[in-house]
Chains A and B, each alone.
Chain A
Amino acid sequence: MTREDALAAITKALTTTVGDIDGTISEDTNLVDDGMLDSLDSMTFLFELETDLGMKLEAIDETYEDFRVGSIVDIVVAATA
């Protein structure tokens, strides 16, 4: 999966989780720090992302805290390589 594809999958999971989002997200967006997801939403987001990808993202364990989009793109690209 390319970075663009990963970003599209993340955007889709985000939209499913919180509804329509204002503007677009970039790899610099931090989904939690920028207020797009609270801790409950972050679980739904990860569930939707993993469901859409059809795989468990092993790099995102229970202690994972980095919700910068670029970091999640890195994980998705690596997991789908």
Chain B
Amino acid sequence: MTATSAPEAALGVLPRADGSAKYSHAGYTVTASVNGPIEAQRRDEHAYEAHVDVIVRPAAGVGGTRERHLESILQSSLSQIILVKNFPRSLIQIVLQVEDSPENDYVNTKLVQASLNFAIMPALMQTAVLALLSAGVPMRATATATAVTIAQQDGAKRITVDPTPRDIETARSVHVLAFTSHDELLLAESEGDFTVKEWDDVYETAKAICCRSAPAKEGVAMVLDDEDASGPDMRQFLRSAAGAKVAADLHWK
């Protein structure tokens, strides 16, 4: 159970897909492929916009209602940022394959009927955005996502970013928030009991992670302090992952 603190990503990992990405963070590893715009089936065809098809496949077992639920959430939020009006009557297909998810050492899991955890959402979202970037699908903004839990501990409430399965089990509420690169809230999903005040706190925490405008940082010590305080800077990460891929592609051999 080594949950890496820094997210890792690789773009263009699958040779045959239009775009692909592999992303791992907080114990979750997801590979995504994007094909599109391609020919849509008659039943999926929209006259004025592209149909965004999201398929989530669990690592073990067959997908059930939970996977369909995640798919529908992702589908509606990704349709918001992809310029779907540019490709009428076509299909943009996003396949998300979960490779690894953190296990709870204290519980024996049921596996034949896969039930993906809510907290996998940010990893799925992030991988999908990276794969879309890699496929060159036009988007109006990129998106960054994070998961936050609130737990009641010794009378005080504690906010945890990127929770482990153990954190989720003990938490009172789990929240997944995503922001676009224009600092707009794209997705807010919550599970459990919480007050409006708590949600505001969660919003601030998530926004700090997703929408940190990278200032010119001076000195290593300051950077380290910053990381410890509020988790990784997702937007900077997304930018550097895409930047590294472009630099590698344009490198004259």
Q: Are A and B genuine complex partners? A: no
